[in-house]
Chains A and B, each alone.
Chain A
Amino acid sequence: MSYTPEMRESIKKVEATRPARLDQPFPRLAPEEKERLLERFHPDYRAEGFRDIRVGPNKGEKAPNELVDVLEGRSHLTSDALDLTRIDYDTDVLIIGGGGAGASAALLARENGAGVILATKLRLGDANTMMAQGGIQAADKPNDSPVIHYLDIMGGGRFVNDPDLVEALVIDASLVIQWLGDLGVMFDKEPDGTMMTIHGGGTSRKRMHSARDYSGAGIMRVLRDEVRSYPEHITVLEFSSAIELLMDDKGQVAGAILQNLETGEHLVVRARCTIIATGGSGRLHYQGFATTNHYGATGDGLILGYRVGARLLHQDTMQYHPTGAAYPEQIVGQLVTAKVRGLGAQVVNAEGNQFVYHLETRDAEASAVIRECTERGEGVETPSGMLGVWLDSPMINIIHGPGTIEAKLPAMVRQFKRFDIDITKDPMLVYPTLHYQNGGLILRPDGSIPGIPNLYGAGEISGGVHGRNRLMGNSLLEITVFGRRAGRAAALRAKEVELGKLTLAHVDEWNKQLQEAGIDNPILSPILLPDYARKVR
C-alpha cells in the first residue's frame, strides 16, 4: 500500500526543497489576500452548495443543501403515536448526546444536585471528542491572557462571533484545564510541571495543550470513567436516539422521545430540563466531501431544537480541515491532526514547493490547498484519481530532534504504518476534509437556548462561539466549557420547574408547516445514522 512510483518521484522533489524550506520562512497571507482566497476557493462560497430554508425560525436564510434536506424533514412521529401518560423515565436533567459536552454536562448537573439521564445514540464516548487529536487551547502561560485568546478567536472567526460566548470560553479555559487535570487527564508536561504548549493555526501565543495526539481520547476516556463513577445519579442509556423533544401544555420543553436503535422501542423521558449535546453533522457529507466525523454525526440535535423554535446561527458555514488523508484509499478523509503543522511540518505541492504558510487559519489553509489542486494544477494524483498535496512530516524530527514524531504523534504514526507508510521518513498526502459545523443553535453564555424554556445546548451543536471559522484547539475547549455551564444551569433551573401535561402537538404543527410551505416528500429526520449499506436491487 506504500506510495506508487509516480508519487515517489514527487517525494524526491519534496526532499530536495526541504533544506531550503527549513531556512526560509514562507510569508503569511495579508488580510486582503486571505479574503480573496476564501471567496474564490472555500466551499462555503460555492453558491450551488446552498439554498434557502423554507420553514421554521431561519426561513429565508441559506444553509447547505444537505442540511436543508434534514431541517425540512418530517418527524418520525405524529402527536397521537404514543401514550404520553406512560412515562418510562422521569428525571431532573435529560442530556441528549454522550460525547465530551454531554459527559461534562452530566457531571456538573450531578454536582449541582440533579438526577441525570444521559441518552446517547451509540456508546458513551462515541463522539467527535474521542477523535480530536491536536489539543485544547487555554491562555495559562505568563505571556498570554484570556484577552489575547479572545482576539485570536474573533479574528479567526472573522469578527462575527458572539462576544459573550467567546468571553465565557476564554475565561473558563484555564478553569477547565485544571478541572480535567483533577479528573486525571494526563496533559503533556515538562518535568517541572510546565504545560507543553504549541501554536495552532491562527494563534498568537503557544497555548495548545495536548495529551500526545490522543488529546480528545485522553479527555473522553476520563470523562466517561468519571460518569461511570456515579451510577446512582447518572443513568446512561446507550443506543437510544432522541427522535423528538417533548413539550408540555405550558409551552415548555419537557424531555424527549427516545428510540432504542436495536429494538425500535420508543421511550418517553420526562425531564425538567433538557440539554442538547448531539454534536456535529459531518456525516451529512456537505458538497460530497469526505469527513473526519464519527459515525453518528448527523446533526440530530439541530433538527430537534429547530422544530421547537430554536434559531440557528451561521448554519451556512462548515469547517474543512486542511489536512485530511488523501492516500491511502482506506483512510481517505480521516483526520491528519493540525498538530503536525503545529510542530512545523509545511504543506507543499507536487513540485515540492511551499504555497501557503503552514499555520494559517483552517479556512485559509484549506482554500489554499484547494487552489493548488484545482486552478494551479500542482496537486499529486492518487491511483483512485484523488488529488492531494504533501504534508512534510519528516521536517518535524529535523526541527525538534529525532524521535519527536514518534513521541508526539503516535496515533498518526500508527495510522499510516498500518498501510506501510512511515511518516517519520515520508510525507503524507492530504486534501481538505469536512471537519466541523461552525454554526448551530443560538445559546446564551449559561448554555440556555433563548426563547425555549428548559432547553439548553452545549458543544458542536451551538452557534456563535467560533463565528465563521473555528480555531484549532477550541472545540475540546468549547465542549467542556459549555457542557459544564449547561449542566450547572440546567440542574439549578430544574429545581424550579413545574411541568404540565406532556404533548407532541408541536410535531403536528411542524408537519402542517411543511405542507403549507409546499415541501413535497420530505425525508424522515433526524436521520440518526448515515446509510452506507449497499443496496442490492
Chain B
Amino acid sequence: MPEELIPIYIMGKRYDVPPGLTIMKATEYAGYRLIRGAGCRGGFCGACATVYRTAGDYRLKVALACQTVAEPEMYIAQIPFFPAERPAYKLDELEPTFETLVKLYPELLRCLSCGTCTKACPQDLDVKDYMAEAMRGNIAAVADKSFDCIMCGLCAARCPAEEVQYNIAILCRRLYGKYLAPEAKHLSERVAEIKTGEFDEPMREIKSLSEEELRQRYNERDIEPA
C-alpha cells in the first residue's frame, strides 16, 4: 500500500483510503456503491447516521458520514434505518397541549434526562433540554430548540428509555406552526384577494404585453431598497 493511505474498518473489514475524505467518500473509495446510507450528501437529510469507534477507545461515537472526516483506525457502521414508532395521528384532530404529547407518546414521561441523546446529536442540539420542555408541555420551546433536527434517529438509537425524540419534536413543531404561531394577517388578506379574483385583470394585462413591452417594464421596474 502507498504510505499516504490510512486504514479504516467498515463493518469490521479493513480498507486503506486516502486521508481527508469524509466517511461517505472513504466508503465509496473502498468500493461500495451506496444505496442506503446516502441521501443529500450535505448534512440535511439524516440518511447517513453512522456509529464509530476509534482504536483503543471503548466509547461509541456517532456522526453523519457526509460531514465527518474519516480518521485512521476508525471502526464504522451505518444506521441507515431505525424502526421508530410514529403513532397514527392527524394534525387537524389534535390540540397543542401537554395531554396530546403524552397521549401519543406515553413513554415521554419515562425520560431519565440522562443526556445520552444530547451527546448523540450530530447537529449539536440539546435534545435532553427539549425533551425536558416537552415534559413541561412547553410546545413552543420544543419547536424552537429542535428546529435544526434532521431526524437521523441517532438520539432514539442511543436512548436507554426508548424515547423517539425526533418524532416528538416534529409533532411539536407542527403543533406550534399550525396552532400557536401568530397569524400572518397580510397573508390571509392576500389569499382572500386572490380568491375573489382581484388580480385577474392585472394578470391579463401583463400577459398581453409583447416581449419588447415586457422587457421595458422589467428594466424600469422599481426595486424595494435592500
Q: Mark A109-130, 1 if CB is under 8 A from B, else 0.
A: 0000000000000110110101
State the majority secondary structure of interface residues on B: loop
Q: Are A414 and B124 in contact (CB under 8 A)?
A: yes
Mark the stretch among B2-10, B105-113, B154-162, B203-211 that contacts chain A. Answer: B203-211
Interface range on chain B (Cβ under 8 Å from partner):
35 or more
Query: Are B170 and A225 interface neighbours, CB within 8 A?
Result: yes
Task: Assess whether B174 is interfacial by the CB under 8 Å rule.
Answer: yes
A233 to B178, CA, bound (A): 23
Do A295 and B219 contact each other (CB < 8 Å), given the known contacts A123-B47, A199-B226?
A: no
Q: Chain A residues near B186 (CB, 8 Å)? A: 140-142, 194-195
B218 in contact with A154 (CB, 8 Å): yes
Task: Check A183/B174 contact, CB under 8 A, given A212-B147, A335-B42.
Answer: yes
CB <8 Å contact, B151 and A329: no
Query: Chain A residues near B42 (CB, 8 Å)?
Result: 131, 292, 294, 331, 334-335, 415
How long is the Cα–Cα vector from A186 to B171 in the complex, in angstroms? 12
Residue in B22, B39, B91, B187 whose beta carbon sits within 8 Å of that of A183 in the complex: B91
With an 8 A cutoff between CB atoms, is A2 at the interface? no
Cα-based distance from A178 to B184 in the complex (angstroms): 9
A185 interface residue per 8 A CB criterion:
yes
- Cα distance A335–B42 when bound, in Å? 8
Q: Which of A126, A163, A330: most chain B Cβ within 10 A?
A: A330
Interface segment out of the listed A43-51, A70-78, A388-396, A527-535: A527-535
Q: Which residues of B contact A335 (CB under 8 A)?
A: 42
B136 close to A (CB within 8 Å): no
Which of B30-38, B49-57, B71-79, B127-135 contacts the other chain?
B30-38
Q: What chain B residues lie within 8 Å of A212 (beta carbons)?
A: 147-148
Question: Which residues of the partner chain A approach B88 to less than 8 Å between Cβ atoms?
Answer: 229, 231
CA of A140 to CA of B189 in the docked complex: distance in angstroms?
Answer: 8
Is B86 among interface residues, defined by CB-CB distance under 8 A? Answer: yes
Is B40 touching A140 in the complex (CB atoms < 8 A)?
no
Which B residues between 186 and 203 are near A, CB-CB below 8 angstroms? 186-188, 190-191, 194, 199, 202-203
A325 to chain B, nearest CB (A): 9
- B36 contacts A239, C-beta separation under 8 Å: yes
Give Cα A331–Cα B170 distance, bound, in whole angstroms.
28
Task: Give the residue of B20, B33, B187, B224 whose beta carbon is less than 8 angstroms from that of A178.
Answer: B187
Q: A167 and B207: CB pair below 8 A?
A: yes
| B34 surroundings in chain A (CB, below 8 A) | 295, 529, 532
Give chain A residues whose Cβ lies under 8 Å from the Cβ of B29: 534
Contact B86 A228 (CB under 8 A): yes
Q: Which one of A126, A145, A330 contacts B202 once the chains associate, using CB atoms below 8 Å?
A: A145
Inter-chain contacts of A140 with B (CB < 8 A): 184, 186-187, 190-191
> How many A residues face the partner with a CB closer than 8 A?
87
The residue from A128, A139, A152, A159 contacting B215, defined by CB atoms under 8 A apart: A159
Quick check: A418 and B45 within 8 Å, CB to CB? Answer: no
List residues of chain B with CB within 8 A of the CB of A184. 91, 173-178
Check B33–A533 contact: CB distance below 8 A: yes
| Known pairs A532-B28, A533-B31; A123 contacts B148 (CB<8 A) | no
With both beta carbons as reference points, the residue of chain B lying nearest to A226 in the complex is identified as B91
> Is B190 within 8 A of A204, CB to CB?
no
A140-158 CB mask vs B (1 if < 8 Å, else 0) is 1111011110111011000
Q: Determine which residue in B21, B45, B91, B214 has the highest number of CB atoms from chain A within 10 A of its CB, and name it.
A: B45
CA separation between A131 and B42, bound complex, in Å? 8
Alpha-carbon gap, A145 to B222, bound state (A): 13
Q: Given known contacts A154-B214, A193-B182, A214-B148, is B90 in contact with A229 (CB within 8 Å)? A: yes
List 7 other contacts, CB 8 Å, given A225-B174, A226-B91: A1-B69, A145-B199, A152-B221, A171-B203, A330-B69, A418-B43, A533-B33
Q: What is the interface of chain B, defined by CB distance below 8 A to chain A? A: 20-22, 25, 28-36, 38-45, 47, 67-69, 86, 88-91, 123-124, 143, 147-148, 150-151, 170-171, 173-178, 181-188, 190-191, 194, 199, 202-203, 206-207, 211, 214-215, 217-219, 221-224, 226
7 contacts across the A-B interface (CB closer than 8 A): A122-B47, A146-B194, A154-B218, A181-B177, A184-B175, A187-B181, A533-B28
The 4 closest A-B CB pairs, nearest first, are A184-B174, A193-B182, A155-B218, A184-B177
